[in-house]
């Protein structure tokens, strides 16, 4: 009896419609959406944004146009059209599907909003119906494209240095435009900002899935100095391209303050693993100190320090408070430490409200706070006055924006240097296992106290600038949780949302958590509800944060389970 050892050929899987036909459907639907952007979507200008014009896309129509254009070019890349294949280095159909889904969501959201605001589908013009069909077809077609519809592109060839520099410059230019567009959206058009968030969210995930972001990271890694210069140039250019003066620059200033404080908290939570629920109090210590020594009329001290002295005094006061609070409490761990820090935050707020001359010494003017804080002045440059720089008039908030860029750069240098130092490695060891770290000779109390003191100092530094930006300091600005950031809950969420232990993560988290409430103020009553839902979804699908380090990826995702022992060890060593 013989046994047939001939390998059997598996039956081909059913793939449905040809991927090429589906991709052509994606392109056709995207072109239809682009055409719809040049048509009127409604007949009346009562809907925010005025979508009544032909041949001139309004903001909401422009977002649908951009989403459709990105979908079309990625579909061309999936087809292997020469000149477009570089858009999908990973060769994943997910990029096409995510872009088409984002365009569909933004377009249908706009049309549904028109019907909701104006009272029925009778208010729709033909352009809206064209947009509905045009955005629906690519979403359905892209969903049916099999995963192996197109193969991965060949490895990128080495580009000359000048070409890589041009790519970096173009990326920063596009990034500056995208960020400026979001910040500059009219507060009277909340639908525009929501659609903007939808398109940016889906486009960002699509670029990650396509492998394009990873390829860009390789280019920037090869040109670190150029990337650093480009980052600073793009950040400095922001106030110079504002068409509405300081109207939206104030949002950018507050984002930088929020992000700087989040980076300080990242030292405590992200590196050392200490759960601090009263961190915003250190921001308040710096702000109140700067207000008391900067010549405010209601200051109890009646002194006016120069700029550098006020900043150093605020940072030093926060450092002292950090040591005083940390010394007796940092021997606690976990929940007990969190409760103590939460109590400190509440004690600070209540104490500032009681130092009014009635319940206690008259120092902080009680609940009324310290108003009319003079603007900073440095070498004759008054930050509260408008100045013409390179032919552009910069207002007060633009001046403080540029100052906060310098402060943030300083904080980033301190954070990265500390994280990569011996003390930084001790923080990580304490965070991972304090008992094991202590057994290896690390003085846990001293290491944690240094992290607590450094984090408090960085928060106090940002607080000194915040006091002069707002020109007033009141206790209600420094609570554990509230509808308006920064507060301790939002600061902690910014670190967790962005990615603990990283530099870019807390900055991104702080920007999102400040910008979204500022633009969607009509949802203020439901803000915390939406915030909680977002955190639940994040913990479920991306617990390491939006921008995670390699160690966090290894901890939260078992992607190396199918690797051999050597590969797994190499991956962990690279973390």
Query: For 278-313, how does the pLDDT look when each residue is reduced to its tens digit (9 = 90+)?
Result: 888 899 899 999 888 887 777 777 788 888 888 899
Average pLDDT, the chain: 82
Shared domain check, 64 and 173: yes
Q: Among 470, 496, 522, where does a domain finish?
A: 496
Q: What percent of the chain has pLDDT over 70?
A: 88
Looking at residue 16, its pLDDT comes to 43
Q: Among 431, 462, 496, where does a domain finish?
A: 496
The DSSP code for 157 is: P
Looking at the domain assignment, is residue 365 inside a domain?
yes
Residue 169, domain extent = 19-236
Q: Distance between CA 423 and CA 442 in Å, rounded? A: 10
Asked if residue 234 lies in contact with residue 168, where contact means CB atoms within 8 angstroms, the answer is: no
Shared domain check, 205 and 159: yes
Looking at residue 153, its pLDDT comes to 46
Q: How many domains does the chain have?
A: 2
Looking at the domain assignment, is residue 59 inside a domain?
yes
Shared domain check, 310 and 186: no
Shared domain check, 194 and 98: yes
Q: Which residue has the higher pLDDT, 6 or 274?
A: 274
Looking at residue 8, its pLDDT comes to 45
Shared domain check, 478 and 341: yes
Shared domain check, 271 and 215: no
Q: Please state the pTM of the whole predicted model.
A: 0.83
Looking at the domain assignment, is residue 326 inside a domain?
yes
Looking at residue 552, its pLDDT comes to 62
Looking at the domain assignment, is residue 521 inside a domain?
no
Looking at the domain assignment, is residue 194 inside a domain?
yes
Compute CA distances 439 → 427, 429, 433, 467, whole Å.
Answer: 14, 11, 10, 44
Looking at residue 394, its pLDDT comes to 80
Looking at residue 67, its pLDDT comes to 93
Phi, psi torsion values for 354, nearest 5 degrees = -95, -10
Residue 212 has pLDDT above 90, yes or no: no
Structure tokens at 307: 């700029």
Looking at residue 566, its pLDDT comes to 41
| Residue with token string 């440059």 | 381
Nearest to 503 by CA among 458, 542, 533: 458
Looking at the domain assignment, is residue 439 inside a domain?
yes
Query: With bands split at pLDDT 50, 70 and 90, how would you rate the model's confidence at 155?
Result: low
Residue 102 has pLDDT above 80, yes or no: yes
Shared domain check, 306 and 184: no
Looking at residue 18, its pLDDT comes to 54
3-state secondary structure of 287: helix
Shared domain check, 318 and 212: no
For CA atoms 419, 492, 202, 516, the dihedral sign is: negative
3-state secondary structure of 558: coil
Shared domain check, 318 and 229: no
Using only C-alpha atoms, the chain has a radius of gyration, in whole angstroms, of 27
Residue 192 has pLDDT above 70, yes or no: yes
Burial class for 28, CB neighbours closer than 10 Å (0-12, 13-18, 19+): middle
The DSSP code for 147 is: T
Q: Distance between CA 332 and CA 552 in Å, rounded? A: 25
Residue 120 has pLDDT above 80, yes or no: yes
Looking at the domain assignment, is residue 565 inside a domain?
no
Residue 56 has pLDDT above 80, yes or no: yes
In order, the DSSP letters of 403-448 are HHHHHHHHHHHHHHHHHTSHHHHHHHHHHH-HHHHHHTT--HHHHH
Looking at residue 483, its pLDDT comes to 63
Query: With bands split at pLDDT 50, 70 and 90, how would you rate the model's confidence at 207?
Result: confident
Shared domain check, 297 and 218: no
Looking at residue 35, its pLDDT comes to 93
Q: Among 454, 476, 496, where does a domain finish?
A: 496
Q: 91: how many CB neighbours lie within 10 A of its CB?
A: 20
Asked if residue 286 lies in contact with residue 312, where contact means CB atoms within 8 angstroms, the answer is: no
3-state secondary structure of 457: helix
- Sort strands 392-394 and 387-389 into parallel, antiparallel or unpaired: antiparallel
Rounded to an integer, the average pLDDT of 530-548 is 78
Shared domain check, 87 and 124: yes
Residue 569 has pLDDT above 60, yes or no: no
- Which pairs count as long-range contacts for 270-273, CB under 8 Å and 24+ apart, including other chains? 270/495, 270/500, 270/501, 270/502, 270/506, 271/418, 271/419, 271/424, 271/427, 271/428, 271/431, 271/451, 271/501, 272/427, 272/430, 272/431, 272/447, 272/448, 272/451, 272/452, 273/427, 273/430, 273/431, 273/432
Shared domain check, 478 and 414: yes
Asked if residue 334 lies in contact with residue 342, where contact means CB atoms within 8 angstroms, the answer is: no
E strand residue ranges, 321-429:
377-378, 381-382, 387-389, 392-394
- Choose the weakest-confidence range: 100-109, 293-302, 365-374, 564-573: 564-573
Question: Rounded to the nearest 10 degrees, what angle do helices 94-118 and 59-79 cross at?
Answer: 160
Residue 571 has pLDDT above 60, yes or no: no
Looking at the domain assignment, is residue 135 inside a domain?
yes
């Amino acid at each position: 009896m013989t046994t047939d050892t001939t390998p059997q050929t598996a039956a081909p899987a059913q793939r449905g419609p040809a991927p090429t036909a589906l991709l052509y459907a994606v392109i056709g639907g995207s072109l239809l959406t682009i055409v719809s952007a040049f048509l009127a979507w409604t007949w009346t200008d009562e809907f925010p944004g005025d979508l009544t014009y032909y041949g001139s896309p309004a903001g909401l129509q422009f977002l649908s146009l951009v989403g459709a254009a990105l979908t079309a070019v990625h579909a061309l890349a999936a087809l292997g059209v020469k000149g477009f294949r570089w858009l999908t280095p990973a060769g994943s159909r997910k990029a096409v599907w995510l872009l088409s889904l984002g365009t569909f969501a933004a377009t249908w959201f706009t049309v549904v909003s028109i019907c909701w605001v104006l009272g029925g589908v009778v208010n729709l013009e033909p352009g809206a119906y064209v947009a509905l069909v045009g955005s629906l077809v690519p979403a359905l077609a892209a969903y049916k494209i099999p995963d192996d519809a197109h193969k991965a592109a060949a490895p990128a060839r080495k580009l000359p240095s000048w070409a890589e520099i041009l790519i970096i410059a173009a990326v920063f230019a596009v990034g500056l435009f995208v960020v400026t567009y979001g910040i500059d959206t009219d507060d009277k058009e909340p639908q525009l900002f929501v659609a903007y968030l939808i398109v940016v969210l889906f486009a960002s995930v699509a670029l990650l899935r396509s492998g394009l972001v990873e390829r860009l990271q390789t280019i920037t890694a090869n040109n670190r100095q150029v990337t650093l210069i480009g980052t600073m140039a793009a950040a400095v250019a922001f106030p110079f391209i504002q068409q509405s003066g300081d109207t939206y620059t104030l949002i950018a200033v507050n984002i930088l303050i929020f992000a700087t404080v989040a980076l300080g908290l990242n030292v405590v939570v992200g590196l050392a693993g200490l759960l601090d629920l009263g961190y915003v109090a250190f921001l308040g210590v710096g702000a109140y100190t700067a207000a008391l020594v900067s010549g405010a009329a209601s200051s109890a001290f009646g002194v006016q320090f120069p700029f550098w002295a006020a900043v150093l005094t605020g940072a030093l006061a926060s450092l002292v408070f950090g040591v005083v609070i940390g010394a007796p409490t940092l021997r606690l761990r976990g929940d007990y430490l969190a409760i103590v820090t939460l109590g400190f935050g509440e004690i600070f707020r209540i104490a500032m409200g009681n130092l009014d001359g009635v319940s206690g010494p008259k120092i902080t003017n009680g609940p009324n706070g310290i108003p009319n804080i003079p603007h900073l002045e440095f070498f004759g440059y008054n930050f509260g006055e408008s100045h013409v720089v390179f032919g552009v008039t910069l207002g007060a908030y633009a001046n403080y924006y540029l100052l906060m860029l310098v402060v943030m750069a300083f904080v980033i240098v301190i954070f990265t240097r500390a994280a990569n130092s011996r003390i930084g490695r001790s923080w990580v060891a304490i965070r991972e296992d304090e008992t094991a770290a202590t057994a290896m000779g690390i003085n846990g109390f001293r290491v944690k106290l240094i992290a607590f003191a450094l984090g408090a100092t960085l928060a106090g530094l940002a607080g000194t600038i915040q006091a002069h930006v707002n020109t007033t300091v009141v206790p209600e600005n420094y609570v554990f949780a509230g509808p308006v950031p920064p507060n301790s809950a939002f600061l902690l969420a910014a670190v967790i949302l962005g990615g603990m232990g990283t530099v870019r993560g807390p900055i991104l988290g702080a920007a999102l958590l400040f910008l979204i409430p500022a633009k969607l103020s009509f949802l203020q009553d439901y803000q915390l509800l939406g915030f909680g839902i977002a955190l639940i979804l994040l913990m479920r699908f991306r617990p390491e944060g939006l921008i995670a380090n390699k160690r966090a990826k290894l901890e939260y995702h078992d992607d190396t389970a199918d690797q051999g022992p050597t590969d797994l060890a190499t991956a962990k060593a690279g973390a």
